[in-house]
A and B are shown apart, each in its own frame.
Chain A
Amino acid sequence: MITLDIQNLEAKIGEKQILKGLNLQLEEGKVHAIMGPNGAGKSTLSKAIVGHYDVSIVGGDILFKGKSIKDMEPEERAKEGIFLSFQNPVEVPGVNNAYFLRTALNAKRVHEGKEELNAAEFLRLMKSHLSELGMKPDMISRSLNEGFSGGEKKRNEILQMLILEPDVIILDEIDSGLDIDALRAVSEGINKMKDGKRSFLVITHYSRILDYIEPDYIHVLKDGQIVKTAGAELVAQLEEEGYDSIAIEQ
């Protein structure tokens, strides 16, 4: 079953067209990795899916579980079940991490017709995930991402993912700035989320993260389009021959 169906997507940032008729289908329960050279449009694709204000969609469509989301507000897409783990999560001084995450979770629960969690229930849920990610307990009482190291920010993204339990998870350069231990902890968090139903879109420059999160499909994005889709074996070819080799095949 297809959870996210991107059809002939054309998108601009400012006046510059970045995505030029991109087609991509994410299958339920599968890990899709997007690889590509700098400037190919990988981050623009992730931004287009979540409705970032930088990106304007000028053609094509994005269907989530069969429903078009391209005109939805970012918060509506999130409540539907789409989650983007940011490459550089922004710091938000003064917004308490736990308060933020409880507000987000309860917004989603209300959207799903469930009861909101009270502070005590939420704290229990949060604490159960903190130790798994090797996060210090005081991080939940600090301001959102403020003063966090690169690794702490990424772990915090994974914590949000574990709590919000989205259906489609987009990981934008999740491995950037992580040391081996942090990468392992983050990858374990991600692997825990694999349940045979949830779909992953892993956007990366390097194959390192794919040693930890085994992809089912590799898509190569170049010049605003998916130019090749193959199995995990494509990673080795890209490592050896680079992205130019893909252009030759087209």
Chain B
Amino acid sequence: MRLNSFKNKNLEELATLLAISPQNRPLKKFIEMGGLPSKKSEAYRYFNIESLLDGEYESLDYTPKVVNEGEEIVIENGVITTAPQGVRVYYEPCEQIDDDHFDPLYYLSHALYPRTIKIEVDGDRELKIVHRFTKSYAIINYRIVLFNQANRHSTIYESFEGELVQNSFIMYGYDMHIAPDSSFRVVKLQTLQNQNYSMLASHKINVEKNGSCIFKSFDLGGDHALQLIKVELDEYAHIDAQHLLYLNNDSKRGTVSQIIHKGQHSTSNQEAKNILDGASRGIFDALIKVEHSAKYTKAIQNSKAILLHDKAYMVSKPQLEIYIDELEASHGSTTGQLDPQQLFYLQSRGISAIEARKMLVIAFANTMIETIRDSRHQELIRNEFDKVFYSKED
């Protein structure tokens, strides 16, 4: 399959090509939005989407398999293979597709994968979701719907395994429904090495009244990946979004997001920390929109970047779009380098230049890593940091 072959096709032509109904809602939305994105598309302006769409990929068969019992949910090449006891994981058509997502590939992904993986998180619990990729030169596309229950508090640790694949292209994403008075915490850790796979993760998160979403992403290493997140906040709903990027080589990765305050007294806190080495490019293109209905909103948005190499580049675009007066809002962005005084201080105590550099890089990231409640997971993130730090190509 070559996604670029969808270019300039009308609804009927594309429906015929994909062997799906022209009445398919996501497909219609995809066409309405202009079809495949290009470098001129708002969401992909700073990301080289065209080279990904131009690749020739093998299409996979997503026929469900027998689900084994295990400690974690494992989704291998878009198919559930393992799930823990007591967690409802099943396939079902997605009924609640967003009407107005900014990412056209959100709709294409839904159209190509009509049978979504539905995960119902019962009670207060911690879950691990492992995304495993084993097919090279393949397009792997799947969607996940996550539900929880009112008054419940859950955490999902999300990780990715794909070190053995080459040049695959992953499109996946969540449609997440956070129930009233509940909290949902998602901690994503993804280390990519060059030429394993590229990824587009297009999410929609609905936070209902008094609900709380904590979304923390730790994106490390190389290659090309973008997470495109749309969040809608109901009354008194809250999102705390933290994005840590630590990139090397010629990686291009980042976050494009829209947080939309719809309900009164909703609050959002979005923070990005970006550490860019080599000729990497970090992207933080984030909009917070406060609608007329969202009086007494509080919205904070901040991006900080450290460039470790003169070829590293940060695109930082925090934006506020506000339609009311009764709110508190702030946003900011800074880009700099490691402080030479701090580096020298550490060296003057006998710590080598490379270790001093590492200490400062970790220190910059630590304020985010330390917010992870599980100390084993903190350690895991630090270990991944070490791997990326010592693996970079000079």
Which residues does A use to contact B, with CB under 8 Å? 50-53, 73-75, 78-79, 83-84, 86, 89-90, 92-95, 100-101, 103-104, 107-108, 111, 143, 160, 164
Which residues on B sit within 8 Å (CB–CB) of A90?
339, 341-342, 345
> What residues on B are CB-neighbors of A100 within 8 Å?
346, 349, 351, 359
B322 at the interface (CB under 8 A from A): no
Establish whether residues A89 and B345, one from each chain, have CB atoms under 8 Å apart when the complex forms.
yes
Q: Please give the distance in Å from B345's CB to the nearest CB on chain A.
A: 5
Pair A78/B347 contact, Cβ less than 8 Å: yes
Considering the chains assembled together, what is the distance between the CA atoms of A50 and B367 in angstroms? 31
Q: Is the interface of B mostly helix, strand, loop or mixed?
A: helix
Instruction: Give every chain B residue within 8 A of A143 (Cβ-Cβ).
Output: 363
Whether A75 touches B339, Cβ cut-off 8 Å, given contacts A53-B344, A93-B363, is no
Q: What residue in chain A is nearest B369 (Cβ atoms)?
A: A94
A103–B346 Cα distance when bound, in Å, is: 10
Q: Whole-angstrom distance from the CB of A87 to the nearest CB of chain B?
A: 12
* B binding-site residues for A, Cβ under 8 Å: 339-342, 344-353, 355-356, 359-360, 362-367
Is there an interface contact between B339 and A104, defined as CB atoms closer than 8 Å? no
Q: Which residue of A lies closest to B354 (CB)?
A: A75
How many cross-chain pairs have Cβ atoms below 8 Å apart between A and B?
75
A73–B363 CB distance below 8 A = no
CB distance from B280 to the nearest CB of A (A): 21
Contact of A75 with B364 in the complex, beta carbons under 8 Å: no
Closest to B365 in A: A94
**In the complex, which residues of chain A have a beta carbon less than 8 angstroms from the beta carbon of B367?**
93-94
State A234–B233 Cα separation when bound (angstroms).
Answer: 74
Given contact pairs A73-B353, A90-B341, A50 touches B348 in the complex (Cβ within 8 A): yes
- In the bound complex, what is the Cα–Cα distance between A143 and B363 (angstroms)? 9
Q: Given A52-B344, A103-B355 in contact, is the A78-B349 Cβ separation under 8 Å?
A: yes
Q: In the complex where A90-B341, A90-B345, A94-B366 touch, is A79 in contact with B360 (Cβ < 8 A)?
A: no
B274 → chain A closest CB, angstroms: 15
Residues of B within 8 A of A160 (CB): 349
Of the listed residues B340, B346, B355, the one surrounded by the most CB atoms of chain A closer than 10 A to its CB is B346
Smallest beta-carbon distance A218→chain B, Å: 26
Chain A residues, CB < 8 A from B340: 53
Of the A-B pairs whose beta carbons lie under 8 Å apart in the complex, a sample of 28, sorted by A's number, is: A52-B344, A52-B348, A53-B340, A75-B347, A75-B348, A75-B349, A75-B352, A78-B347, A78-B348, A79-B350, A86-B348, A89-B345, A90-B339, A90-B341, A90-B345, A92-B359, A93-B363, A94-B363, A94-B364, A94-B365, A100-B346, A100-B351, A100-B359, A103-B351, A103-B355, A107-B351, A111-B350, A160-B349
Inter-chain contact B363/A104, CB cutoff 8 Å = no
CA distance A241 to B366 in the complex (A): 53
Whether A74 touches B348, Cβ cut-off 8 Å, given contacts A90-B342, A92-B342, A94-B367, is: yes
**Least CB distance, A229 to chain B, in whole angstroms:** 27
Q: Most chain-A CB neighbours within 10 Å: which of B350, B351, B367?
A: B350
Q: How far is the CB of A160 from chain B (nearest CB, A)?
A: 6
Residues on the B chain within 8 Å of A103, using CB: 351, 355, 359
**Is the beta-carbon distance between B350 and A95 smaller than 8 angstroms?**
no
A104 CA / B356 CA spacing, docked (Å): 10
| A74: chain B residues within 8 A (beta carbon) | 344, 347-348
